[in-house]
Structure 1
Amino acid sequence: MALYNVMEEVVHEVLIRYKDQLHLTCQCEHCMNDIMAIALNELPPRYIVNKDYVPYVRAAHVADRQGATNIILIVTKAAAFVSKSPRCPTMNPATLKSTE
């Protein structure tokens, strides 16, 4: 049985939509994944077993204005946290040595 967390898709879409307004210090894949991981750990998952239901779950989040605002707020906080101290080799060469 394959499970799918629709919230991953929602958070990714919010991050991509607002990344210019978030003033990220780095937009590399590592930093973007860090932001998503932090945000997803703060949000309740929305698991489904049939990807045909993704639009219904996503529509529920779009219709829930408070929920949509909460997701944006959590992504914004995660982005600020990662931007203050990015762990990627691009922004922090010291991490390159520790991962080699």
Structure 2
Amino acid sequence: MQNYMEILVNEVFNEVKEKYNICSNKNCENDIKATALNNLPPAYFLSSASEGEKKAFLLDRQRKITVLTKITEAVDIVCSKCEHKKKRG
């Protein structure tokens, strides 16, 4: 069983982490993802769901925007408390 929202958060986070100079410490990255996921609904598919339905979920533009918003909010929360050298600018 897999939470597809977690897959989407990982994908969006990896797309934006270099652009926004987010702390590269793994604990900070995990905290950002966890904070974002705690503010997003989980998404599980039934065994009868097709691969197309799952792919459509991951490619939905509005959903990606929502995930990006939650990641941005999480970065603000986590990075404001970050004690590592490479902080968000």
For residues 1-100 of structure 1, the aligned pairs below 5 Å read: 3-24=1-22, 26-48=23-45, 56-63=53-60, 65-86=61-82, 91=84
Q: Percent identity?
A: 31
> Are the aligned partners of 2:12 and 2:64 in contact in 1 as well (CA < 8 Å)?
no
Offset of residue 28 of structure 1: 1.3
Cα deviations by residue, 1:38-88 (Å, 9 ceiling, x for unpaired): 0000000012365x856632422423x3222111111111112111112xx
Question: How many residue pairs end up in the alignment?
Answer: 84
SS in 2 for 1:27: coil
Aligned-residue Cα RMSD (Å) equals: 2.4
Q: In terms of Rg, which structure is larger? A: 1
Q: Report the TM-score, using the length of structure 2 for normalisation.
A: 0.77
Q: Which runs of 5+ in 1 are unaligned?
A: 93-100
1:6–1:12 CA distance, 2 compared to 1 (3 A) = same
Higher fraction of helix: 1
Structure 2 counterpart of 1:16, which letter?
N
1:13–1:55 CA distance, 2 compared to 1 (3 A) = farther
Q: Report the TM-score, using the length of structure 1 for normalisation.
A: 0.69
Q: Which has the higher contact order (CA 8 A, sep 6+)?
A: 2
